[in-house]
Amino acid sequence: MPLTNAEKQKRFRERALHDPEGHLLTRLQVYLKPHAAANLERLAKHTGMTKTELIDKAINDLAERQDCNHGDY
């Protein structure tokens, strides 16, 4: 019997909880101003990094500069 849409979504969400290296991920939904969203798109194309990688790096770099980096969780 084929899976229902709800079952497919549940499986997708379960797979999406971990990155390719097996690290547990946290879902984050944000709204950005158009200029910031455009910069994120340009940075992704320019660097070859994903948006997730860019956001993760930006947050961790800022935490390091502010001396409030407490390592991986």
Return the domain boundaries, the chain: 5-65
Q: What is the Rg, in whole angstroms, of the alpha carbon atoms belonging to the chain?
A: 16
DSSP 3-state of 24 = strand
In the prediction, which pLDDT does 17 show?
83
In the prediction, which pLDDT does 65 show?
94
**Alpha carbon distances (Å) from 16 to 13, 52, 56:** 5, 13, 16
In the prediction, which pLDDT does 31 show?
97
* Tens digit of pLDDT at every position of the chain (73 positions): 899 999 999 988 888 788 778 788 888 899 999 999 999 999 999 999 999 999 999 999 999 999 998 765 5
pTM of the model: 0.71
Label residue 19 left, alpha or beta by phi (over 0 means left) and psi (-120 to 50 means alpha): beta
In the prediction, which pLDDT does 73 show?
56
The set of residues, in sequence order, having a beta carbon less than 8 Å from that of 34 and lying 6+ positions away, is: none
